[in-house]
Amino acid sequence: MSDSEEIEEPVQKLRSKRIFFNNVDLYTGKNISKYLSSCIVGASLEDAEDEEEAEVGSVHSASSPKEGSYRIIGTMKDPDAKPPSFLAEVVSFKTREELLEKLLECDIIIYNTTEDFDSIDEAVWSVSSLHTEIEHFDSPKMFILLSSVLTWAKSKPLDPDDTEIPFTEDDYRRRKPHPNFKEHISAEKVVIKFGKTNKQKFQTYVVASGLTYGMGENTFHFLFKTAWLGEASALHCFGTGTNIVPTIHIQDLASVIQNICDGKPRTRYIVAVDDSQNSLEEIVRCISYYLGSGKIRKIAKEDYDYMRQVVGTKLGTNKVERIAKEDALLIKDLKQNEFDSLLVNLRMEAMFLKESMSIRWVAETGLVDAIDRVIKEFKETRGLLPMRACVLGPPGSGKSTVAAALSKKFKLHHITMKEVIDETMERLKQSAARLNQTDSGGDEDEEEDDGKAQEDSELLEQINDSKEANDGRIEDSYIIKFFREKLKSMPCQNQGFVLDGFPKTYEQAKDLFALDDEDEGDEPNKVNYDTTIMPEAVIALDASDPFLKERIMNLPEEVVQGTHNTEQGFLRRLQDYRSVNHEDDTVLNYFDELEIHPEHFDVNEKTDVKNEAIVEKISTALGEPRNYGPTPEEKEDIERSAAEVKMRKEAEERAMKERHEADEAAALKQRQEEWMERLEEVRRQEREVLEAQSMPLRNFLMKHVMPTLTKGLIECCEVRPEDPVDYLAEFLFQHNPEID
């Protein structure tokens, strides 16, 4: 018997199992299903020394699943969306009876209720229907309900004198839900109840998940997006920020589900959280520091509720004006259930995960400790990779026009020398001015380090001394420093940038993109430039001197006035550019040496004043934008502009059609009039011909026929014969002049 078991055991391990997962196109369903689809059945049960061999590999095609792996089937929240590649079958049904047939074909049924609250009722129906069909099961089945820790949100502390004692799975009967999660706890109780009747054939589990993060984000997406965009001066922290938020990385949650599927544990209620005990303020501050401005702004719950009410119901104008722009954006981007989740205050410890499960932790100690990896996942999953470009060329070639157009189209930061210098000098002046203030008067988020202020004051003094010694010009070393600080700022690191006409020389480029001293090493294959600020695309605008001179000379006087594009100023700038950019000594050589070959575009086209054709060619070369795309307001503007263009085009086509029809009608009328005139002329000519042809006959009749005929008629009237016709014919015959 033992021998047969040894032979059959590997076969059992390699048997593929079908898993049903609802809403596989949503964040949780997509990530957990993708993870499970690449897992071998029973892999989590392997010993520690064998884990490397059983480790999850790359996601494979559902059409050719790996032997012994889980096969995922499931429903789509958006039936019109493209199904994920790992999905073996999309489940669509018109009646719940059809859904039940699909569920009975599966070994494991997983229902996620953390995102789509409408799925709670379907989950309860599914577990109830499966329970009624236990006697007809071909093989044992498992039902897993993925719920939320917010079913614990109103639980009373285990010890009123020590509120830091965490809840564990053993305390699940004492849990009290958040008011908006009462349906969740009801569903949990139903699932647990139906798993107690026949544990050999039907096992049920409830997983209370912490707030998930990673792989593009879900609940925390609002914070990540706001920080990445950099439009708000500070990242919002709701409430006091002291509330402890239980969290778990989405892949760690998937690993928990894998362990349940493989191990069939005896514990039916499982808490899935990591070991972190981070407060909301710690999480928000961490996201802001590593992805945004580094500042946070606390907003009381009642203030948020008030803002939501004002914007949601569109109350009076005075109240709306009191809401800042970023607050209005906040209300539109953050859903109510996400807001409730961020305000949860729970200390939880997943004892069962630690003691009985083999979890391949991605972020065991939480989001704050794994922030570098989480931010990388966020950017890569959502395609938010920075796009860095540099536009170079002689003066008058249209660098600024092209750079501005590219910045607008790809939502990049337009970096010009004037703005960089002005912005940096203003910041240094403000920082230095704080040294003279006895009372800061600012709030906590606006305080600056005194040492930094002293350093900025000394730097400002050095720059001013340098300007006096160089006829008001700032030395290249300071300009390079300004540019490096700007390019390394979080907005440029997040979205990317377009350098406008800088660096101008080989040496400037070498100094600007050089590695910091601490980054330099002895590694032979390491690049010798700063990859975080190096442009990935260098655009070189080429134009001849005669063309540039003609273009500048033809500019309107009001455009030239007050700029460097006067005749004398332009010629001087052009001469300076040519003098530092010889064929063998140009800034483009620097990029060529680094294998970042510039793309050359000829701008010697007199008709393309705004370089629109060049911008289109460059845009094609750069590829698709790597950002969030247009905002709802921008989409409305685009749609409105498209509608206006369409209406204008339709109006023009309609007017053209009406003009065409009017012209055709006029031409037809004219042709008809000409035809009638010709017809009348033909008729007149025919009458004249007929009259001319009838004259001889008329004269003959008048001379030879009519006199005899008249006499015959008169006589016929006098005689009144019985047959007047015969009588008249006899009379004409007798009196025929030719017979006479």
What contacts 62, CB < 8 A, 6 or more positions away? 37, 71, 72, 85, 86, 87, 88
Q: What is the largest CA-CA distance in the chain?
A: 163
CA 704 – CA 737 distance, rounded (Å): 8
CA 485 – CA 478 distance, rounded (Å): 11
CA 19 – CA 88 distance, rounded (Å): 10
Per the listing, tokens 């859904």 go with 99
Structure tokens at 733: 């015959």
CA 389 – CA 391 distance, rounded (Å): 7
CB 503 within 8 A of CB 441: no
Instruction: Give bridge partners of residue 109 from the DSSP assignment.
Output: 20, 143
CA 679 – CA 689 distance, rounded (Å): 15
CB atoms within 10 A of CB 386: 19
Return the domain boundaries, the chain.
Answer: 2-218+247-278+345-380, 385-626, 633-734
Structure tokens at 243: 């509330």
DSSP codes joined into one string, 450-468: HHHHHHHHHHHHHHHHHHH
pLDDT value at position 662?
Answer: 93
Residues with pLDDT less than 50, the chain: 1-13, 47-49, 51-63, 310-330, 438-448
pLDDT value at position 70?
Answer: 94
Q: Name the CATH topology of 385-626.
A: Rossmann fold (3.40.50)
Closest CA to 535 of 392, 422, 376, 395: 392
CA 664 – CA 667 distance, rounded (Å): 5
CB atoms within 10 A of CB 582: 9
The CATH number fitting domain 2-218+247-278+345-380, selected from 3.40.50.11750, 3.50.40.10, 3.40.50.720, 3.40.50.11390: 3.40.50.720
What sign for the dihedral angle of Cα 611, 614, 618, 620?
Answer: positive
Instruction: Give bridge partners of residue 299 from the DSSP assignment.
Output: 238
What sign for the dihedral angle of Cα 271, 209, 194, 72?
Answer: negative
Instruction: Give per-residue pLDDT as tens, 587-610.
Output: 999 999 999 999 999 888 766 667
- Give residue 435's identity as a one-letter amino acid code: L
pLDDT value at position 59?
Answer: 37
- Give residue 181's identity as a one-letter amino acid code: F
CA 165 – CA 156 distance, rounded (Å): 11
What sign for the dihedral angle of Cα 135, 140, 146, 150?
Answer: positive
pLDDT value at position 18?
Answer: 94
At how many degrees (to 10) do helices 706-719 and 724-734 cross?
Answer: 140
CA 28 – CA 311 distance, rounded (Å): 30
CA 370 – CA 215 distance, rounded (Å): 12
Instruction: Give bridge partners of residue 500 from the DSSP assignment.
Output: 391
CB 435 within 8 A of CB 454: yes
Structure tokens at 334: 């953050």
The three-state secondary structure class of 112 is: strand
Closest CA to 527 of 512, 518, 515: 515
